Amino acid sequence: MEISELSSAQWTDVELTARGKQDKSRTLRDLARPETPESAHALLLEAGRWTEAQTPYAERLGTALEAVSLPVPEWPDEERLDLTHLSAYAIDDEGNQDPDDALSAEDLGGGLTRLWVHVADVAALVPPGSALDLEARARGATLYLPDQTIHMLPEALIAQAGLGLSETSPALSIALDLDETGNAEAVEVHLTRVRVQRLSYDQAQAMFASGHKDFARLAELARVSRDIRFEEGAVSIDLPEVRVKADEAGAQVTALPRPEMRGVVQECMTLAGWGAAIYADDFELPIPFATQDPPHREVSGDTIPAHWARRKTLGRTRFQSAPGAHAGMGLDLYTQATSPMRRYLDLVVHQQLRAHLSGAEPMSGREVAAHIAEASIGSAGTRTAERLSRRHHTLRCIAAQPERVWEAVVVERKGPQATLLIPDLALDLPMTTPSQPGQVLSVTLTVQSLPDLRVRASES
Q: Domains in the chain: how many in total?
A: 3
**pLDDT (0 to 100) of residue 34:** 97
Residue 28 covered by a domain: yes
Secondary-structure breakdown of the chain: helix, strand, coil percentages, each rounded to the nearest 5:
35, 25, 40
Residues 16 and 86 in one domain: no
Residues 376 and 410 in one domain: no
| Inter-CA distances, 438 with 236, 242, 411, 424, Å | 18, 21, 6, 16
Residue 207 covered by a domain: yes
Pairing between β-strand 184-194 and β-strand 81-82 as defined by DSSP bridges: parallel
The domain that holds 430 is classified in CATH as 2.40.50.140
Query: What pTM did the predictor assign?
Result: 0.95
**What gap in Å lies between CA 360 and CA 191, rounded to an integer?**
14
One-letter amino acid at 149 equals: T
Residues 99 and 170 in one domain: yes
**pLDDT (0 to 100) of residue 94:** 83
| Inter-CA distances, 140 with 161, 184, 344, 417, Å | 19, 32, 5, 37
* DSSP assignment letter at 66: S
H/E element, 264 = helix 260-282
Residues 331 and 417 in one domain: no
Residues 87 and 209 in one domain: yes
Residue 363 covered by a domain: yes
The domain of 8 spans: 3-50
Residues 365 and 450 in one domain: no
Residues 93 and 7 in one domain: no
**What gap in Å lies between CA 156 and CA 278, rounded to an integer?**
33
pLDDT tens for the chain, 460 residues long, are 788 889 999 999 999 999 999 999 999 999 999 999 999 999 999 999 999 999 999 999 999 999 999 999 999 999 999 999 999 999 998 878 889 999 999 999 999 999 999 999 999 999 999 999 999 999 999 999 999 999 999 999 999 999 999 999 999 999 999 999 999 999 999 999 999 999 999 999 999 999 999 999 999 999 999 999 999 999 999 999 999 999 999 999 999 988 999 999 999 999 999 999 999 999 999 999 999 999 989 999 999 999 999 999 999 999 999 999 999 999 999 999 999 999 999 999 999 999 999 999 999 999 999 999 999 999 999 999 999 999 999 999 999 999 999 999 999 999 999 999 999 999 999 999 999 999 999 999 999 999 999 999 999 8
- Nearest partner of 43 among 12, 68, 73, judged by Cα: 12
